[in-house]
Structures are given as structure tokens and as C-alpha cells.
Amino acid sequence: MKKLIFLAVLALSACQYAEPASDLVMCHDPNNALDLFAAFAGDPQFRSMHPDPASTEVNSEGAFIQFPVEGGPDGRGFLVKAAKKTNRYLLLFHEWWGVNDYIKNEAAMWSKELKINVLAVDLYDGKVASTSEEAGKLMQANDAKRSSAIVLGAAKHLGEKANFRTMGWCFGGGWSLQASLLLKEKSKACVMFYGMPEKDVEKLKQLQPKVLFVHAMKDKWINDEVVATFETNMKAANKSLTVSRYDADHAFANPSSPRYNETNAKQARDTVKSFLKSK
């Protein structure tokens, strides 16, 4: 409990040393899961856990698409189509870096592995960070209402017959769960890699798919206590949650990160593949 209180205090204090990234309001609500995670950007230790990503060669035949978004400009995402026509989609949600070359490669890899269409949804409207300082500013400036509208706009654009699975890492891990909440019965599965869980049990009661949570046990932010609270809340909401635990640190599954742990990352990918293939 002390650790959760510390996280709330951090969320309230983060604004005093986080530089503004835009004209958006920068202070965050410590009771809101997305805001709480965004506040981590003000923590120097959190930023140090995300060294600047290594350059990545794109191995993908996908392309960016645009789609209407209610109440604002068009949204966009990086789409990789399956070899055979299908109405099955995986929506990927990027880390705090944005839709960079690593995310494009993930889209291509999962499309091939699962024989599914994959759309890497761009919640930053084209902005991509190359340093942790830039990434922190983008994450703190993210507008949840705009991002929610982007998710719904993407789903509508992909058609009435489309059905979805969601997956994301870090910042995107939290958004994977939020997207599944937004998509309701159209979401068939949700995968979260070390993302901030929703804390509102009443909201969780509306969740339709089963959830797989990939937990890095050395993570100081999405830590054991945060995950245990998520398990308790999901049980209270009578929802299905599987936690897959790894002796690794935050961002261990990203091959463009110096903190990449290949052994654990491969095990996690195999677990996710098995989970999603049945959904």
C-alpha cells in the first residue's frame, strides 16, 4: 500500500519538474490509470530505464493508413495485412516512443505469426521520439479523449465485420486494456506488457475479453503490488486475468532497447502467441 501511495504522490508532484510538451494541460489525476502512468515521465529513474532506442531496419511491407476520427483530424496507423483475407485484426499500441521502426517490425512479425491483419495505432498523430526526454514529453502530452477517439475511428474504418485483439507495451500496455474496454464485445483478447492497469472495478466489469498480463518482476513502477491489485480488482469484477511473470525488468521485451532480455522475451512471445491463436 505504501508503494501505491508513493505512486499517487509522484503523479501529483510530477508537474513541478516535467517540461511542457504542448499547450495541453500537463498535471495528471492520480486516480486515473493513464494519467498515473504518464506522470512516471517526470521520474528521472523511469527515464533512465528507457535508454535511447537503437536504430532498427524496417522489415515490413506494411503502410500507413488514415481514417476519420470524430471531433478532430484524421487518425493514422501502420497496417500490415495478412497473406489471406480475414476479418481478424490485432491492434498494437506503441511504447512511449511512438510508431517507430521497431513497432512496424512488430506489426509485420505478429501478422505473419498469427496470420492476422495488424494495425499499429498511432496515438501520437505522427510524432516519434528518439530520446527519452522527447518520449516523456509526448507521453505526458497525450490526450486520452483524442486517443480514445482514434481507437474508435480505427475500428469503424476497418469495418463492421472486423473483430479485434489488442496488445501494447509500457504506455501502450495500458492503452491495450483501455482499447478493449472501448471496443466492448468486438474485442476478443487483450495483452498487456507491463502497462498500467485500470483500477476502477466498475469499468472492469464492462470488459469483454480475457486478459494476459506480461509482468516484469523487477519493474519498480508496474511492480508486484500494482499487479496484485489488478488481480484483486479483476476478480472483484468477475473477469479473466492471466499473469505471466518473468525475472526481468521494465522494457525487457523490446529488442531495440539495451535492456532487452532475449530469453525472457522469447518465452513471453511464445506465451502471447499461444494466447492469441486461440482467440
Find, among 21, 1, 11, the residue nearest to 43 by Cα: 11
- Residue span of the structural domain in which 81 resides: 2-277
Neighbours of 54 (CB within 10 A): 12
Q: Report whether 136 contacts 73 (CB < 8 A).
A: no
Give the pLDDT score at 59: 76
Please choose, from the candidates 124, 109, 34, 111, the residue with its C-alpha nearest in 3D space to the C-alpha of residue 76: 124
C-alpha cell at 110: 505478429
Q: Report whether 224 contacts 256 (CB < 8 A).
A: no
Which helix (H) or strand (E) segment holds residue 45: the answer is helix 44-48
Structurally, how many domains does the chain consist of?
Answer: 1
**Sign of the four-CA dihedral 148, 150, 156, 159:** negative
User: Residue type for 37, please?
Assistant: F
For 121, phi then psi, to 5°, come to -75, 130
Q: Which pLDDT does position 16 carry in this prediction? A: 33
DSSP, res 75? E
Give the span between the Cα atoms of 242 and 228, in whole angstroms: 12
Distance CA 142, CA 248 (A): 28
Rounded distance, CA 3 to CA 143, Å? 26
Residues in a beta bridge with 120: 78, 92
pLDDT, block means (10 residues), the chain with 279 residues = 43 34 40 86 84 77 96 98 97 97 95 97 97 94 97 98 97 98 98 97 98 97 97 98 96 85 96 94
Q: Where residue 261 sits, what CATH number does that domain have?
A: 3.40.50.1820
pLDDT at res. 31: 63
Partners of 166 in beta bridges: 91, 190
